[in-house]
Amino acid sequence: MSGRLADIETRIGTVRKLAAVVAAMRGIAASRAREARGHVAGIRTFADTIGEAISQSLALLPDQGRDGDRGNTGRRAVVLLAAEQGFAGAFNETVFDAAAPLLGDPHELILAGDRGLIVAEERGLDVDWSAPMIAHAGQATSLAVRITEAIYERLAAGNVTCVTVVHAAPDGPTTGDVVVRPLVPFDFSRFPAPLHGAAPLITLPAEDLLTRLAEEYVFAEITEAIMLSFVAENEARTRAMIAAHDNVSKSLDQLVAQSRLLRQEEITDEITELATSSLPIR
Protein backbone atom coordinates (compact mmCIF):
# COMPACT_ATOMS: atom_id res chain seq x y z
CA MET A 1 0.00 0.00 0.00
CA SER A 2 2.72 2.48 0.99
CA GLY A 3 4.61 1.72 -2.22
CA ARG A 4 1.59 2.52 -4.36
CA LEU A 5 0.97 5.74 -2.44
CA ALA A 6 4.59 6.82 -2.88
CA ASP A 7 4.40 6.15 -6.62
CA ILE A 8 1.24 8.22 -6.98
CA GLU A 9 2.71 11.10 -4.95
CA THR A 10 5.75 11.05 -7.25
CA ARG A 11 3.45 11.19 -10.27
CA ILE A 12 1.56 14.10 -8.70
CA GLY A 13 4.80 16.03 -8.38
CA THR A 14 5.67 15.32 -12.01
CA VAL A 15 2.24 16.35 -13.26
CA ARG A 16 2.42 19.59 -11.28
CA LYS A 17 5.75 20.42 -12.90
CA LEU A 18 4.23 19.66 -16.30
CA ALA A 19 1.32 21.97 -15.51
CA ALA A 20 3.78 24.77 -14.69
CA VAL A 21 5.59 24.24 -18.00
CA VAL A 22 2.31 24.25 -19.95
CA ALA A 23 1.22 27.46 -18.20
CA ALA A 24 4.55 29.12 -19.01
CA MET A 25 4.33 28.10 -22.69
CA ARG A 26 0.79 29.44 -22.89
CA GLY A 27 1.88 32.76 -21.38
CA ILE A 28 4.85 33.10 -23.74
CA ALA A 29 2.71 32.30 -26.81
CA ALA A 30 0.02 34.80 -25.80
CA SER A 31 2.65 37.49 -25.15
CA ARG A 32 4.30 36.95 -28.54
CA ALA A 33 0.96 37.09 -30.34
CA ARG A 34 0.04 40.31 -28.57
CA GLU A 35 3.40 41.91 -29.39
CA ALA A 36 3.18 40.92 -33.06
CA ARG A 37 -0.34 42.33 -33.37
CA GLY A 38 1.04 45.69 -32.33
CA HIS A 39 3.31 45.73 -35.40
CA VAL A 40 0.66 44.89 -38.00
CA ALA A 41 -0.88 48.38 -38.07
CA GLY A 42 2.52 49.96 -38.76
CA ILE A 43 3.21 47.54 -41.61
CA ARG A 44 -0.16 48.31 -43.18
CA THR A 45 0.44 52.05 -42.87
CA PHE A 46 3.73 51.59 -44.70
CA ALA A 47 2.00 49.55 -47.42
CA ASP A 48 -0.72 52.21 -47.78
CA THR A 49 1.94 54.89 -48.23
CA ILE A 50 3.63 52.89 -50.98
CA GLY A 51 0.25 52.21 -52.56
CA GLU A 52 -0.55 55.92 -52.67
CA ALA A 53 2.79 56.56 -54.37
CA ILE A 54 1.97 53.87 -56.93
CA SER A 55 -1.39 55.49 -57.65
CA GLN A 56 0.24 58.85 -58.26
CA SER A 57 3.02 57.37 -60.38
CA LEU A 58 0.55 55.53 -62.61
CA ALA A 59 -0.68 58.93 -63.79
CA LEU A 60 2.72 59.41 -65.45
CA LEU A 61 2.20 56.48 -67.82
CA PRO A 62 -0.05 56.47 -70.85
CA ASP A 63 -1.32 52.99 -69.97
CA GLN A 64 -2.76 53.22 -66.46
CA GLY A 65 -4.34 49.79 -66.68
CA ARG A 66 -1.07 47.85 -66.73
CA ASP A 67 -1.11 44.76 -64.54
CA GLY A 68 2.37 43.38 -64.99
CA ASP A 69 4.34 42.01 -67.90
CA ARG A 70 4.80 38.35 -67.12
CA GLY A 71 1.30 36.96 -67.34
CA ASN A 72 -0.24 34.35 -65.08
CA THR A 73 1.09 31.22 -66.78
CA GLY A 74 4.36 29.39 -66.33
CA ARG A 75 6.27 28.08 -63.35
CA ARG A 76 5.07 29.39 -60.00
CA ALA A 77 6.96 30.18 -56.82
CA VAL A 78 4.93 29.37 -53.70
CA VAL A 79 5.97 31.23 -50.56
CA LEU A 80 4.65 29.11 -47.69
CA LEU A 81 4.90 30.31 -44.09
CA ALA A 82 4.86 27.47 -41.57
CA ALA A 83 5.64 27.23 -37.86
CA GLU A 84 9.11 27.26 -36.39
CA GLN A 85 8.20 25.45 -33.16
CA GLY A 86 5.87 22.65 -32.19
CA PHE A 87 2.82 22.39 -29.93
CA ALA A 88 0.69 24.35 -32.41
CA GLY A 89 -1.92 21.71 -33.19
CA ALA A 90 -2.71 21.24 -36.89
CA PHE A 91 -1.27 24.65 -37.84
CA ASN A 92 1.22 23.40 -40.43
CA GLU A 93 -1.07 20.78 -41.93
CA THR A 94 -3.78 23.40 -42.45
CA VAL A 95 -1.41 25.72 -44.32
CA PHE A 96 -0.06 22.91 -46.50
CA ASP A 97 -3.59 21.72 -47.30
CA ALA A 98 -4.51 25.22 -48.50
CA ALA A 99 -1.38 25.34 -50.67
CA ALA A 100 -1.90 21.85 -52.12
CA PRO A 101 -3.64 23.00 -55.36
CA LEU A 102 -0.64 25.23 -56.14
CA LEU A 103 1.93 22.59 -55.27
CA GLY A 104 0.55 20.12 -57.79
CA ASP A 105 1.62 22.27 -60.77
CA PRO A 106 5.25 23.00 -61.73
CA HIS A 107 6.49 25.15 -58.89
CA GLU A 108 9.34 26.18 -56.63
CA LEU A 109 8.63 26.03 -52.93
CA ILE A 110 10.00 28.87 -50.81
CA LEU A 111 9.42 27.79 -47.22
CA ALA A 112 9.82 29.54 -43.87
CA GLY A 113 9.55 27.45 -40.70
CA ASP A 114 11.56 24.40 -39.69
CA ARG A 115 8.42 22.48 -38.73
CA GLY A 116 7.23 23.02 -42.28
CA LEU A 117 10.30 21.15 -43.55
CA ILE A 118 9.09 18.07 -41.67
CA VAL A 119 5.62 18.30 -43.23
CA ALA A 120 7.10 18.88 -46.70
CA GLU A 121 9.24 15.76 -46.34
CA GLU A 122 6.25 13.72 -45.18
CA ARG A 123 4.29 14.85 -48.23
CA GLY A 124 7.16 14.24 -50.65
CA LEU A 125 7.55 17.92 -51.57
CA ASP A 126 10.86 19.35 -52.73
CA VAL A 127 11.87 22.57 -50.98
CA ASP A 128 13.89 24.92 -53.21
CA TRP A 129 14.64 27.52 -50.53
CA SER A 130 14.05 27.58 -46.79
CA ALA A 131 14.73 29.66 -43.70
CA PRO A 132 13.69 29.52 -40.06
CA MET A 133 10.46 31.29 -39.20
CA ILE A 134 10.77 34.24 -36.83
CA ALA A 135 10.93 33.63 -33.07
CA HIS A 136 9.83 37.16 -32.17
CA ALA A 137 8.28 40.11 -33.98
CA GLY A 138 11.53 42.02 -34.35
CA GLN A 139 12.86 39.44 -36.83
CA ALA A 140 10.07 39.90 -39.40
CA THR A 141 11.84 42.54 -41.49
CA SER A 142 15.01 40.50 -41.79
CA LEU A 143 13.13 37.40 -42.93
CA ALA A 144 11.03 39.47 -45.37
CA VAL A 145 14.21 40.82 -46.95
CA ARG A 146 15.57 37.31 -47.45
CA ILE A 147 12.32 36.01 -48.95
CA THR A 148 11.98 39.03 -51.24
CA GLU A 149 15.53 38.56 -52.50
CA ALA A 150 14.85 34.86 -53.15
CA ILE A 151 11.72 35.76 -55.13
CA TYR A 152 13.35 38.36 -57.36
CA GLU A 153 16.42 36.23 -57.96
CA ARG A 154 14.14 33.58 -59.45
CA LEU A 155 12.13 36.10 -61.42
CA ALA A 156 15.28 37.70 -62.84
CA ALA A 157 16.67 34.29 -63.81
CA GLY A 158 13.41 33.33 -65.48
CA ASN A 159 12.97 30.31 -63.20
CA VAL A 160 9.46 31.44 -62.25
CA THR A 161 6.90 33.80 -63.76
CA CYS A 162 4.43 34.21 -60.91
CA VAL A 163 4.54 34.18 -57.12
CA THR A 164 1.89 33.35 -54.52
CA VAL A 165 2.17 33.58 -50.73
CA VAL A 166 0.26 31.17 -48.47
CA HIS A 167 -0.01 31.86 -44.75
CA ALA A 168 -2.30 31.37 -41.76
CA ALA A 169 -4.37 34.32 -40.58
CA PRO A 170 -5.57 35.18 -37.08
CA ASP A 171 -9.10 36.27 -36.20
CA GLY A 172 -10.77 34.52 -39.10
CA PRO A 173 -14.37 33.28 -39.10
CA THR A 174 -12.98 29.87 -38.12
CA THR A 175 -9.74 28.76 -36.54
CA GLY A 176 -7.13 27.78 -39.04
CA ASP A 177 -8.05 30.28 -41.77
CA VAL A 178 -5.42 30.52 -44.49
CA VAL A 179 -4.73 33.36 -46.93
CA VAL A 180 -3.63 32.54 -50.50
CA ARG A 181 -2.51 35.80 -52.12
CA PRO A 182 -0.87 36.37 -55.53
CA LEU A 183 2.14 38.70 -55.38
CA VAL A 184 3.53 38.56 -58.92
CA PRO A 185 2.47 39.55 -61.58
CA PHE A 186 1.87 42.77 -59.73
CA ASP A 187 -1.73 43.94 -60.01
CA PHE A 188 -1.56 47.70 -60.58
CA SER A 189 -5.34 47.83 -61.03
CA ARG A 190 -5.69 47.68 -57.23
CA PHE A 191 -4.53 51.28 -56.98
CA PRO A 192 -7.08 53.87 -58.11
CA ALA A 193 -6.02 56.99 -59.93
CA PRO A 194 -5.52 60.04 -57.68
CA LEU A 195 -8.40 62.48 -57.43
CA HIS A 196 -6.27 65.46 -58.48
CA GLY A 197 -4.71 65.68 -61.91
CA ALA A 198 -1.28 67.07 -60.94
CA ALA A 199 1.48 64.59 -61.70
CA PRO A 200 4.23 64.22 -59.08
CA LEU A 201 7.76 65.48 -59.66
CA ILE A 202 10.15 62.55 -60.10
CA THR A 203 13.86 62.03 -60.72
CA LEU A 204 13.55 58.53 -62.20
CA PRO A 205 11.91 57.31 -65.39
CA ALA A 206 8.28 56.45 -64.60
CA GLU A 207 8.76 52.76 -65.50
CA ASP A 208 11.74 52.40 -63.16
CA LEU A 209 9.93 54.23 -60.38
CA LEU A 210 6.88 51.98 -60.64
CA THR A 211 9.05 48.86 -60.71
CA ARG A 212 10.80 49.91 -57.52
CA LEU A 213 7.55 50.88 -55.83
CA ALA A 214 6.00 47.54 -56.81
CA GLU A 215 8.96 45.68 -55.33
CA GLU A 216 8.64 47.73 -52.14
CA TYR A 217 4.93 46.93 -51.95
CA VAL A 218 5.61 43.20 -52.38
CA PHE A 219 8.13 43.49 -49.54
CA ALA A 220 5.44 45.10 -47.36
CA GLU A 221 2.97 42.32 -48.25
CA ILE A 222 5.50 39.64 -47.32
CA THR A 223 6.32 41.40 -44.05
CA GLU A 224 2.63 41.58 -43.18
CA ALA A 225 2.16 37.91 -44.10
CA ILE A 226 5.05 36.92 -41.82
CA MET A 227 3.66 38.92 -38.93
CA LEU A 228 0.11 37.59 -39.37
CA SER A 229 1.39 34.03 -39.64
CA PHE A 230 3.43 34.53 -36.47
CA VAL A 231 0.34 35.80 -34.64
CA ALA A 232 -1.73 32.86 -35.91
CA GLU A 233 0.96 30.35 -34.95
CA ASN A 234 1.15 31.64 -31.39
CA GLU A 235 -2.62 31.80 -31.08
CA ALA A 236 -2.77 28.17 -32.21
CA ARG A 237 -0.11 27.32 -29.62
CA THR A 238 -2.08 29.18 -26.95
CA ARG A 239 -5.20 27.15 -27.77
CA ALA A 240 -3.18 23.93 -27.70
CA MET A 241 -1.70 24.83 -24.32
CA ILE A 242 -5.13 25.66 -22.90
CA ALA A 243 -6.37 22.22 -23.98
CA ALA A 244 -3.22 20.61 -22.59
CA HIS A 245 -3.65 22.46 -19.29
CA ASP A 246 -7.23 21.20 -19.02
CA ASN A 247 -6.06 17.61 -19.58
CA VAL A 248 -3.24 17.99 -17.08
CA SER A 249 -5.63 19.45 -14.50
CA LYS A 250 -8.01 16.50 -14.92
CA SER A 251 -5.14 14.03 -14.53
CA LEU A 252 -3.92 15.87 -11.45
CA ASP A 253 -7.37 15.84 -9.87
CA GLN A 254 -7.65 12.09 -10.49
CA LEU A 255 -4.22 11.42 -8.99
CA VAL A 256 -4.92 13.57 -5.93
CA ALA A 257 -8.25 11.78 -5.36
CA GLN A 258 -6.50 8.42 -5.75
CA SER A 259 -3.76 9.41 -3.31
CA ARG A 260 -6.32 10.50 -0.72
CA LEU A 261 -8.16 7.20 -1.09
CA LEU A 262 -4.95 5.20 -0.67
CA ARG A 263 -3.91 7.32 2.31
CA GLN A 264 -7.30 6.73 3.91
CA GLU A 265 -7.01 3.00 3.27
CA GLU A 266 -3.51 3.01 4.74
CA ILE A 267 -4.75 4.79 7.88
CA THR A 268 -7.63 2.35 8.18
CA ASP A 269 -5.23 -0.61 7.89
CA GLU A 270 -3.00 0.85 10.58
CA ILE A 271 -5.94 1.40 12.94
CA THR A 272 -7.17 -2.14 12.31
CA GLU A 273 -3.70 -3.54 12.94
CA LEU A 274 -3.35 -1.57 16.19
CA ALA A 275 -6.81 -2.64 17.37
CA THR A 276 -6.08 -6.27 16.54
CA SER A 277 -2.71 -6.28 18.27
CA SER A 278 -4.22 -4.82 21.46
CA LEU A 279 -6.69 -7.66 21.92
CA PRO A 280 -5.77 -10.15 24.72
CA ILE A 281 -4.55 -13.54 23.58
CA ARG A 282 -6.64 -16.43 24.99
Q: What is the pLDDT of residues 172-227, one digit of tens each?
A: 545 558 999 999 999 998 998 776 666 677 777 888 999 999 999 999 999 999 99
Q: Is residue 5 part of a domain?
A: no
Q: Is residue 164 part of a domain?
A: yes
Q: What is the pLDDT of residues 38-94, one digit of tens each?
A: 999 999 999 999 999 998 888 877 654 454 444 455 799 999 999 998 888 889 999
Range of the domain at 168: 65-192+214-234
Would the CA dihedral through 273, 275, 281, 282 be positive or negative? negative
What is the pTM for the complete model shown? 0.82
Q: Is residue 206 part of a domain?
A: no
Q: Is residue 117 part of a domain?
A: yes
Q: Which long-range contacts (CB under 8 A, 24 or more apart) does 32-35 make?
A: 32/136, 32/137, 32/230, 32/234, 33/170, 33/230, 33/231, 33/234, 33/235, 33/238, 35/136, 35/137
Q: Is residue 116 part of a domain?
A: yes
Q: Is residue 267 part of a domain?
A: no
Q: Residue 140's domain is classified under what CATH number?
A: 3.40.1380.10
